[in-house]
């Protein structure tokens, strides 16, 4: 009985945890639109690298989740699809999505994005600055966060009108 209760509580916590972190199509539409405002940034179909830490279950699950959401392409002017990678060296895209739980890859991901002439993005606020240039949050309202330091490292600049509407950290 006690075990049952514990499992029940755990499963509830897990469900809540999953639900709190669950990405949506709107997250990636927001990322795609934001990428479209990058000066000299990619346009049209963009296969985004989904970088995850294979040794971290949460990171792996997040990568699966993201790959599923963008499988059919998300966005209009910039249309994102995904390609899961576990190594920064495998990243070739101008857009690298960094999953949750991939903290060990932050520095390398940012450096690689800069080398690719692109940027790192995420839905995980923990990534902002150390690993990611841009992080989006769409609930309860849309907020777009940009790390000025990370943007400087990747030479990412946004259109002025858009830049005035995002939160810079």
Query: Given the complex with other proteins, which of 111 and 142 has the nearer CB atom?
Result: 142
- Site track 36-55 with other proteins (rule: CB under 8 A), x = hit: -x-x----------------
Among 47, 84, 142, 153, binds other proteins (CB under 8 A): 142
Say whether residue 165 binds other proteins (CB under 8 A).
Answer: yes
CA of residue 132 relative to chain centroid, distance: 8
Q: Is the dihedral of CA 96, 98, 102, 106 positive or negative?
A: positive
Size of the site for other proteins (CB under 8 A): 21
Query: Given the complex with other proteins, which of 31 and 91 has the nearer CB atom?
Result: 31
Give the binding site for other proteins (CB under 8 A). 30, 33-34, 37, 39, 140-142, 148, 157-165, 167-169
């Amino acid at each position: 009985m006690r075990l049952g209760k514990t499992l029940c509580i755990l499963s509830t916590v897990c469900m809540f945890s999953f639900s709190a972190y669950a990405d949506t199509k709107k997250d990636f539409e927001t990322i795609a639109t934001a990428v479209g405002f990058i000066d000299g940034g990619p346009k049209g179909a963009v296969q985004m690298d989904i970088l995850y830490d294979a040794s971290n279950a949460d990171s792996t699950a997040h990568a699966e989740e993201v790959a599923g959401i963008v499988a059919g392409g998300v966005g209009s002017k910039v249309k994102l699809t995904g390609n899961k990678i576990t190594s920064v060296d495998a990243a070739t895209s101008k857009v690298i999505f960094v999953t949750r739980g991939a903290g060990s890859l932050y520095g390398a991901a940012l450096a690689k994005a800069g080398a690719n002439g692109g940027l790192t993005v995420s839905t995980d606020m923990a990534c902002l600055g150390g690993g990611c240039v841009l992080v989006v949050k769409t609930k309860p309202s849309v907020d777009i966060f940009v790390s000025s330091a990370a943007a400087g490292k990747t030479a990412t600049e946004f259109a002025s009108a858009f830049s005035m509407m995002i939160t810079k950290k």
